[in-house]
Amino acid sequence: MTTSAPIRFRVLSLNCWGIRYLSKNCKERFVLIGDLLNQEQLDIALLQEVWCEKDFLFLKKKLSSIYPYSHYFKSGFIGSGLAVFSRHQFHDAFLYRYSLNGYPYMAQHGDWFGGKAVGKVLLNINGLKIHVFVTHLHAEYCREKDSYLPHRVVQAWELQQFIRHTSAAADVVILGGDLNMHPDDLGTRLLRNYTGLQDSFSEAANFDGCEEGHTHISENPFTNTDNLVPFGGGIRIDYILFKGSGEVDVSCESLSTTKGPVPGHPFPYSDHEALTAEFLFTPTTKGNRCSERQSVNEARTEVKVGLHCAERMRHTAARTGIMGLVLLVLELAIAAVPLFALGAEQPFPKASFYLLGALCFAILLSTLLLYIFYSMEVKALQGTEDQMRLALSKSLVTYSILTVTAVHLVDIRTSSVFENEI
Amino acid sequence: MTTSAPIRFRVLSLNCWGIRYLSKNCKERFVLIGDLLNQEQLDIALLQEVWCEKDFLFLKKKLSSIYPYSHYFKSGFIGSGLAVFSRHQFHDAFLYRYSLNGYPYMAQHGDWFGGKAVGKVLLNINGLKIHVFVTHLHAEYCREKDSYLPHRVVQAWELQQFIRHTSAAADVVILGGDLNMHPDDLGTRLLRNYTGLQDSFSEAANFDGCEEGHTHISENPFTNTDNLVPFGGGIRIDYILFKGSGEVDVSCESLSTTKGPVPGHPFPYSDHEALTAEFLFTPTTKGNRCSERQSVNEARTEVKVGLHCAERMRHTAARTGIMGLVLLVLELAIAAVPLFALGAEQPFPKASFYLLGALCFAILLSTLLLYIFYSMEVKALQGTEDQMRLALSKSLVTYSILTVTAVHLVDIRTSSVFENEI
C-alpha cells in the first residue's frame, strides 16, 4: 500500500437477462446497457447473465474507449454469464465454479447448463490492492417449495470460503451480483457473517432508487408479477457488498438503482434493476472485523436436508435401474426359451421384443446417468457439511455457550428429519 | 505470528493406490500404511487415492491417538481420494475441484469419476499460519501420445492459481501429492515458477531413498514396468513442495522415500513410494520470491492444442448427431410412404424398423451428451487460455524483451496448428 489520499470508486452491478432469442428486446437492451455504462463513468462494471459471448464482444467494442479492460468468465456448457468491464488494468483473474448448481434434466430452469461460479479480478489503484468479485447464484423458482435451497446454501458457503481464502492480502474487497436471496435469507447472512462484508444498501450515506432498494420490481414489464405479490411488489436480490481492511477504511457514499423504463424508451435495461455504488477508500489504521458464526448451524441443517433428498433420489434411481435390468433379463429369458425347445414357435413378436429391449436399455442408461449425478451431488453436499462441521468445532472453544444454544435450536428442526444422527 | 523459536515439521505424502477389489492387497496395505504413519511421528500426512471412505474411516480410527485431526475431501462421483491426518487442529478446510479431468466415457481410466481436486487445510502452530495443500492430478497413461496433457496443464494452472490466491496470508506453504508429472515437465515448471514453491528433493540437506528420488519404480511388484523402461527403471512424480514467507524462513532438513517392500512383508505400501520431509521453520525477515513467467507461453500452446482437439471432437459429435437425425427422418419417411399409398404392402419389416429407430435414438442421445461434454471442455480450456493471456499481458510491461522472444519461440510450434490465429 503506497497511497494515502482518499480514492473514489464507482461500481455497477446488473443482471442483464441476456438469453438470446428468449429474452425480450435483448439486442436493443444491450445497446442501452452499453450507453448506461459509458454515461455512468464507473471504475468497474459487474455484469451477470451475459450468456452469449457475442453480446460480450459487442459491449467490449462499444465500451473500449472508456473501459479498456474486460474479462468474460467461461464455465459449464453455456458459460457463467459473468462479465467485467474496468477502467483499471486487471492484475489477475480467477474463477471458482460452484460444486452444485441444479439438475441437468431440469432443462426448463437451465441453471445447470450455465456452470454458475464466482469470478475474481485484482486491481491495483495507487498501490491499493482491490479484490473485486462477481457472482450469480442459482435462481429461486418457488419460494414456498424451494427444492434448490440446499444448492444455493452450498453456493453461498463456497462463495464465502472463496472470498475469505483469496482476499487475505486485499486492502479492499467488493462483491457485486445477483445472489437470488433476500437480505435476511440464510445464505445472505452466512455470506455476510463469515466474510464480514457490509451491505451498501444499509451503509450508504445517500440512497436514490426503488423503494427499499428493490432490484426485482413488479412494475418491470419483463417480470412475472405473481411471484412478487407476497412481497409488496418488489424484492432485493442484487447486492453490492464491501469491506475494507486494517489499513483501508471503506465508506459507501451513495447507492442508486435504476427505476423501471430507460428514459425515452418503453422498456427497462433488464428484468432486474441496476445498482450503482460510490465508495471512498481512505487509508487508516482501523481494523474491520465482524464475526457471527451462528448461521452456519442453520445452513448445516439445510445442507443435511438436501443430502437426505439426494440420497433418497439416488436410491430411487438405483432401484429403477435394477428394475430395468430385471425386466431385460426376464425378456431375454422368455425369448431364449423357444431356442432351447428346438423347432417350437417363437411366442415373442419381434417388434415387441426390440421395443421392450430398447425401453429397458433406455431405463438402464438414464438411471445410470442419474445415479452418477446424484452421487456427485451427495459428495458435494457431504463435503460442504464436513467443512461446516469443522468451522463449528473451531468456533466451539470460543463461542461454546452461543453454539450450545444454537445446536439446541437447530436440533428442534433437525430431529424430525434425521433420527439417530449426530 | 507470535513465535520466534524454530519449529520442526514432518510431512508425509503417499499415493495409497486404494481401489477396493481392484488394487492388490488393498486391505493389508492400509493396515501397514496406518502402522507407518503411527511410527513416523509426523505433523501431517497427506494421502491420495484413498478412494473408499471405509478405508479412510479405518485409518481415522487406527490413527486417532497420535493424529486426532483428519479430513476427507469429497468430490465427483467416487471422491477426490484426498485425505489428511494431522497432529494439529485444522482451522479451516477448502476444496477446489479442477474444471477438467478426463472424459466420462474413458471408464477404464476412471479419472473423470474421481473428481480430482486440490484440498487445503489451515494449521496454526505457535502463531505460525501454515497452509497445507494436497492434490492428485490426472494420470499419464501414455507419455508419447498423451491425450490428457491439456487437461493436466489446465489442472497445474488452476493449482498454482488456487495456491497463489489463497495463501497470501500464509507464513508457510506446503504442497504434497502425486502430480503425475516429471520434475521438468511443463506443468511442474508452471506450478513452481508461478507459486515460488521449492522442491524438497533438490533442497533437502540430507536425502535417503530411491535413486534420484524416484517414487514410481520398476522394482515395485504392483507397477507396470514397461512404462518405466525408457526412464531407467524409475520416475519422480510425487512431490513435497514448500515455501516460506517474508517472515518465516523454511529449510528442508531431510527427505526420505520408502524403498520397495515393507520390512517383513512381501509387498510395498503402494504402487508409489511414500515421501517424508522434515522442515525447519525459522522466523526471520528474509523474503522469498521467485518469478519466471516463461513457461506460461508454452502452457498456453498446450491449452490451445487441447482446445483445437476439443473443438474438433465437438464438431464430430454435432455431425454424427445430425447424421443420426437424418437417418431417423429418412426411416420415418420410408415407413410413412405406404401409409399414404393406402392398402399397399408395408415394405419395412417391423423388427428392423424398431431396431433402426432405437439405433438412431441412441446415436442422437449419445452425441447430444458428448456435445454438451465437449462444450464444457471447450469453455474450461478457453477460460484458462484467457487467464493465461491476462497473466502474459500483465508481465508484458516488465518482461517485454523476454516475452517477445518467448512468443516467437511458441509461434514456431503454434503456427503449424493455428493458422490465422493471434
pLDDT digits (tens, 9 = 90+) for B150-196: 888 889 989 999 999 999 999 999 999 999 999 999 889 889 988 99
More confidently predicted of A6 and B338:
A6
Average pLDDT over residues B120-145: 92
pLDDT confidence band for A411 (50 / 70 / 90): very low
pLDDT digits (tens, 9 = 90+) for A116-135: 999 999 999 998 999 999 99
What pLDDT does residue A243 have? 96
Q: What is the DSSP pairing of strand A172-178 with strand A128-136?
A: parallel
User: Which residues from chain B sit within 8 angstroms of residue A353, using beta carbons?
Assistant: 351
* C-beta atoms of B386 and A358 within 8 A: no
What pLDDT does residue A226 have? 79
Q: Which residue of A has its CA nearest to B164?
A: A166
- Residue A355 maps to a domain: yes
Q: How many CA atoms lie within 13 A of B201 on its CB side?
A: 19
Taking CB atoms and an 8 Å cut-off, how many pairs form between chains A and B? Answer: 122
What pLDDT does residue B18 have? 95
- Residue A417 maps to a domain: no
Nearest CA distance, B313 vs chain A (angstrom)? 15
Choose from A72, A74, A398 for mutation: most chain B CBs within 10 A.
A74
Q: Is A348's pLDDT higher than 70?
A: no
Query: What average pLDDT does chain B have?
Result: 84
Tell which of B289, B324, B342 closes a domain: B289
Distances (CA, A) of A340 to A122, A333, A343, A345: 74, 11, 9, 11
Residues B33 and B61 in one domain: yes
Average pLDDT over residues B330-337: 80
Average pLDDT over residues A89-105: 88
- Residue B420 maps to a domain: no
Residues A149 and A50 in one domain: yes
- Identify whether the C-beta of residue A25 lies closer than 8 Å to the C-beta of residue A287: no
Which of B164-168, B384-388, B415-419 is predicted least confidently? Answer: B415-419
> How far from the centroid of its chain's Cα atoms is residue B228's Cα?
20
Total of domains in chain A: 2
Residues A119 and A246 in one domain: yes
Average pLDDT over residues B210-215: 94
Choose from A166, A374, A382 for mutation: most chain B CBs within 10 A.
A166
Nearest CA distance, A267 vs chain B (angstrom)? 33
pLDDT digits (tens, 9 = 90+) for B107-121: 788 888 888 999 999
Extract long-range pairs of A20-26: CB within 8 Å, 24+ residues apart: A20/A51, A20/A52, A20/A54, A20/A55, A23/A222, A23/A271, A24/A222, A24/A267, A25/A267, A26/A55
Question: Which residues in A313-347 are b (16+ Cβ under 10 Å) and which e?
Answer: bbeebbebbeebeebbeebeeebeeeeeeeeeeee
Residue positions of B annotated with a catalytic role: 272
Residues A333 and A284 in one domain: no
Nearest CA distance, A94 vs chain B (angstrom)? 7
Out of B72, B92, B165, closest to residue A94 by CB: B165
Q: Which residue of A has its CA nearest to B158?
A: A94
Choose from B52, B72, B74 for mutation: most chain A CBs within 10 A.
B74
More confidently predicted of A84 and B356:
A84
- Identify whether the C-beta of residue A24 lies closer than 8 Å to the C-beta of residue A145: no
pLDDT digits (tens, 9 = 90+) for B243-262: 999 889 999 999 999 998 99
Q: Which DSSP string corresponds to B230-265?
A: GGTTEE--EEEEEE--SSEEEEEEEEEE--SSPTTS
- In this structure, is the dihedral angle defined by the CA atoms of residues A132, A138, A141 and A147, taken in order, positive or negative? negative
Out of A73, A99, A372, closest to residue B383 by CB: A73
Residues A224 and A326 in one domain: no
Cβ contacts of residue A383 below 8 Å, gap of 6+? A99, B73, B74, B75, B95
pLDDT confidence band for A382 (50 / 70 / 90): confident
- Residue A419 maps to a domain: no
pLDDT confidence band for B39 (50 / 70 / 90): very high
Cα–Cα distance, B3 to B13 (Å, whole number): 27
Residue positions of A annotated with a catalytic role: 272
Q: Is B1's pLDDT higher than 50?
A: no
User: Which residues from chain B sit within 8 angstroms of residue A385, using beta carbons?
Assistant: none
* C-beta atoms of B74 and A386 within 8 A: yes
Residues A343 and A320 in one domain: yes
Q: Which residues span the domain enclosing B356? A: 295-412
pLDDT digits (tens, 9 = 90+) for A54-66: 999 999 999 999 9
Please, what is the Cα angle at B105 between B376 and B215, to 5 degrees?
95
Residue type, B167: S
- Residue B2 maps to a domain: no
Out of B75, B353, B358, closest to residue A379 by CB: B75
Average pLDDT over residues B192-216: 94
Instruction: Look at residue B216 and give its three-state secondary structure.
Output: strand
- Identify whether the C-beta of residue B12 lies closer than 8 Å to the C-beta of residue B98: no
CATH number (domain holding residue B49): 3.60.10.10
Residues A201 and A61 in one domain: yes
* C-beta atoms of A115 and B379 within 8 A: yes
pTM summary value: 0.81
User: Which residues from chain B sit within 8 angstroms of residue A394, using beta carbons?
Assistant: 89-92
Out of A71, A350, A362, closest to residue B386 by CB: A71
Which DSSP symbol is given to B402? H
What pLDDT does residue B170 have? 95
Cα–Cα distance, A52 to A268 (Å, whole number): 20
Tell which of A257, A289, A321 closes a domain: A289
State the alpha helices, DSSP H only, in B16-139.
Answer: 26-40, 53-63, 111-114
Q: Is A388's pLDDT higher than 90?
A: no
pLDDT digits (tens, 9 = 90+) for A131-148: 999 999 999 888 888 888
Cα–Cα distance, A285 to A246 (Å, whole number): 6
What pLDDT does residue B419 have? 37
What pLDDT does residue B395 have? 58
What pLDDT does residue A216 have? 94
Residues B306 and B401 in one domain: yes
Q: Which residue of B has its CA nearest to A383?
A: B74
Tell which of A258, A289, A320 closes a domain: A289
- Residue A196 maps to a domain: yes
- Identify whether the C-beta of residue A204 lies closer than 8 Å to the C-beta of residue A252: yes
* C-beta atoms of A97 and B92 within 8 A: no
* C-beta atoms of B353 and A355 within 8 A: no
* C-beta atoms of A361 and B361 within 8 A: no
User: Which residues from chain A sit within 8 angstroms of residue B161, using beta carbons?
Assistant: 94
Residue type, B20: R
- Identify whether the C-beta of residue A280 lies closer than 8 Å to the C-beta of residue A242: no
pLDDT confidence band for B19 (50 / 70 / 90): very high
Instruction: Tell me the β-bridge partners of A119.
Output: A95, A134
What pLDDT does residue A294 have? 66
Distances (CA, A) of B149 to A81, A316, B158: 28, 38, 14
Residues B245 and B304 in one domain: no
* C-beta atoms of B79 and A161 within 8 A: no
Task: Residue A97: name the closest of A132, A136, A69, A131 by CA.
Answer: A136
Nearest CA distance, A49 vs chain B (angstrom)? 16
pLDDT digits (tens, 9 = 90+) for A274-324: 999 999 999 885 433 333 456 677 777 877 888 888 888 889 999 999 988
> How far from the centroid of its chain's Cα atoms is residue B24's Cα?
23
Residues A402 and A303 in one domain: yes
- Identify whether the C-beta of residue B326 lies closer than 8 Å to the C-beta of residue B360: no
What pLDDT does residue B403 have? 34
Residues A218 and A313 in one domain: no
Nearest CA distance, A349 vs chain B (angstrom)? 9
Query: What average pLDDT does chain A have?
Result: 84
pLDDT confidence band for B346 (50 / 70 / 90): low
**Global ipTM:** 0.79
- Residue A109 maps to a domain: yes
User: Which residues from chain A sit within 8 angstroms of residue B380, using beta carbons?
Assistant: 74-75
Distances (CA, A) of B60 to B33, B57, B72, B84, B287: 12, 5, 10, 10, 38
- Residue A406 maps to a domain: yes
Cα–Cα distance, B239 to B48 (Å, whole number): 12
Residue type, A170: A
Residues A89 and A228 in one domain: yes
* C-beta atoms of A93 and B390 within 8 A: yes
